[in-house]
Amino acid sequence: MSRSVRHERRGEARLPAVVAVLVAVALQAALPQRLLLGPRGVLPVLELLLLVPLLVVNPVRMTRQTRWSRPLAIALVLLILVANGVVLVLLVDALVNGSAEDGKQLLLAALQVWLTNVIAYGLTYWELDRGGPVPRTQADREDLPAADFRFPQDEDDDAVVEVAKGGSEQADWVPTLVDYLYVSVTNSSAFSPTDTMPLSSRTKALMALQSTSSLVLSLLVVSRAVSILK
């Protein structure tokens, strides 16, 4: 696709990413006290402070990228991801060693951690693949870094007409946050890729870590629930 046509594309909407970050922040802020990393408001405030400059650069559409905006965006999603990983470790310890009295509270916390995990990994995939959300719509495909994921739409150019119309070749389709969140959900529930395949070593490592943590959490939640119901 020519540069003039591709650069007429509107950037990806900012709102879905903002909502995803705010939901993750709210889930972390609502965790039980024993699972918090320091005072209750410190981590959410830090995450929100990182979000504000990104909104200033791209308040409505993801069309601009500065020398500092991409590192800041990656820092934000990694902060959410790493913080939730630490909480997961604390939760595993609590599920194993917790008393029956706080069992229901821990099961609810497990759901919070799982949902935050889905959001955090989805945001991470979204920021890493093909250079991030801004280049995916604003740069020529020839100028994009190597893809981290292969989506079904990337192979639809030789499918039946009505399918090929929505593919990367004919429609200039590019993945958005919803696509990466779907990858994250399926990887957290099926513990493996489904319709979207990881291509790079870093993505394979991230997906392996995500599926393993989800599997461990699921097994512990089931065993904990059984012990509470006895």
Q: Across-strand partners of 62?
A: 12
Burial 149-187 (b: 16+ CB within 10 A, else e): bebebbebeeeeeeebeebbeeeebbbbbebbbbbbbbb
pTM: predicted TM-score of the whole model, two decimal places: 0.90
* 142 residue type, one letter: E
| pLDDT per position as a tens digit, 6-60 | 545 789 999 999 999 999 999 999 998 888 888 888 999 999 999 999 999 999 9
**Domain spans, the chain:** 3-229
Task: With a cut of 70, list the residues of the chain below it in pLDDT.
Answer: 1-8, 98-102, 225-230
